[in-house]
Structure 1
């Protein structure tokens, strides 16, 4: 068991460490690469998985409902946590609701359960990603037009992939293969980008980061386990749901907090320190889901 956990976590942490040391040493301009990951590689990964001939979205309705319910319950728990600390619920709810499904969730799931876990993994990722933009935009700016969310490339890729799957449209195999090849670049690139982001950790707010780093996996993982039991998910679906629930706060939480000016420095500490703490938290989560 210990060896298997090492085989899962070490590649992810080594790529993250590489990104950290490269950024620390040379301070590269990573904005263009980040934009490509968000606008090109990530959407290709989602579309390639959803439009593949072996994927049938109708098989994942229960898993989708479980993910939505887990996120909603985590949001309620985040509200209670914020009120208990007498802090803004708008600052704390998003990091508790939405984990780092892209940078850590996808590579961890594939390393732990193999390429056969890609379809349900992408389902969990796309639900988390799409809901994050919708919910956070509504929470942080009540005047925002939610109809504009569909213009986000990953959301467009999700809608297109779901349409292809539901309509049983057969995409030419070389097209699917090329999108999947490009999409797989997103897995390593996002993990590397996480290391680059960790250079910006502000330890002046370390206590808030530690609270977020502990609360997010405990709340998310615990509620996901309860939801999986309640809905009677399969062993693989249960393991993936718990693993995604145990992820540290997602990087996108900081990006959205910065966009809407919702205490971005505090959210940055919650997100980045929480991700740094994942070197301890995620092996514990893997021990539980792989047993």
Structure 2
């Protein structure tokens, strides 16, 4: 078991470490890089995984329901925690609700459960994005324009992917293969970008980031374990949900917090520290899921 977990996490953290080391030396500007990942590679990865012939939407109904319930339940617990700790709910609640299921979750799921079950991880990623860019944006700010967020390339690709999965209509194989190759390039690139972002973590950010960094995986696991039992999830479906729950906070939440000026510095500290602590909580999630 220890060796199997090591086989999953070592490649992931190796790429993160390379990104971190590179950024420490060169301080790259990832603005254009991030735009390409968000507007081109991520949508292609999501669409091709959901529209693949081996992905059968009906097989993942309980898992998708579990993912949605998990997100909402962790948000409810986080709201209570924010009241007890006198933290602004609009700051803490989205950090706890939404996991880094793109940058870190997708590569981990691919290595842990194999290509045949990768579609399930992408489906969870898509459901998370739908809730994040609708309810999550509204929690972050009452002035969020949900319509603009829902019309993003990532959301449109999710809708098209689920439609293809339901109807079986997809592009010809010769085109679909090219789309898939482009989408799969996103996985190592997102890990590399995560390593670059970790160079922004400063020592003074640690105290204000600890609450969200620890609350995200701890609350997630506390909700996911009984939830998997109640939904009677078995095998890879149970493992996918537990791994999903143990992931660090979503990097995307910092972009929303910055856009709507909702304590972006504190949100950034929670997210960066949470992703640094993934070296502790991801092995725990894998141990419980494999």
Same fold (TM over 0.5): yes
Query: How far apart in 1 are the matches of 2:143 and 2:282?
Result: 37
Query: How far apart in 2 are the matches of 1:247 and 1:45?
Result: 20
After superposing on structure 2, the runs of 4+ consecutive aligned residues of structure 1 that deviate more than 4 Å are none
Aligned to 2:180: 180
Query: How far apart in 2 are the matches of 1:83 and 1:276?
Result: 26
| Counterpart contact for 1:203–1:269, Cα < 8 Å | no
| Counterpart contact for 2:96–2:249, Cα < 8 Å | yes
- CA deviation profile, 1:235-271 (whole Å, cap 9, x unmatched): 2111100101100111011111001100000000000
Aligned to 2:127: 127
Deviation of 1:12 after TM superposition, in Å, equals 0.6
Deviation of 1:170 after TM superposition, in Å, equals 4.2
With normalisation by structure 2, the TM-score equals: 0.97
Aligned to 2:230: 230
For residues 274-289 of structure 1, the aligned pairs below 5 Å read: 274-289=274-289
Gap runs ≥5 in structure 2: none
**Aligned residues, how many?**
290
| Counterpart contact for 1:51–1:176, Cα < 8 Å | no
Query: How far apart in 2 are the matches of 1:222 and 1:259?
Result: 31
Deviation of 1:94 after TM superposition, in Å, equals 0.6
Query: How far apart in 2 are the matches of 1:225 and 1:178?
Result: 38
Query: How far apart in 1 are the matches of 2:145 and 2:212?
Result: 29
Query: How far apart in 1 are the matches of 2:13 and 2:224?
Result: 24
For residues 1-291 of structure 1, the aligned pairs below 5 Å read: 1-290=1-290
Backbone CA RMSD of aligned residues: 1.2
Query: How far apart in 2 are the matches of 1:146 and 1:56?
Result: 29
Query: How far apart in 2 are the matches of 1:116 and 1:94?
Result: 31
| Counterpart contact for 2:98–2:250, Cα < 8 Å | yes
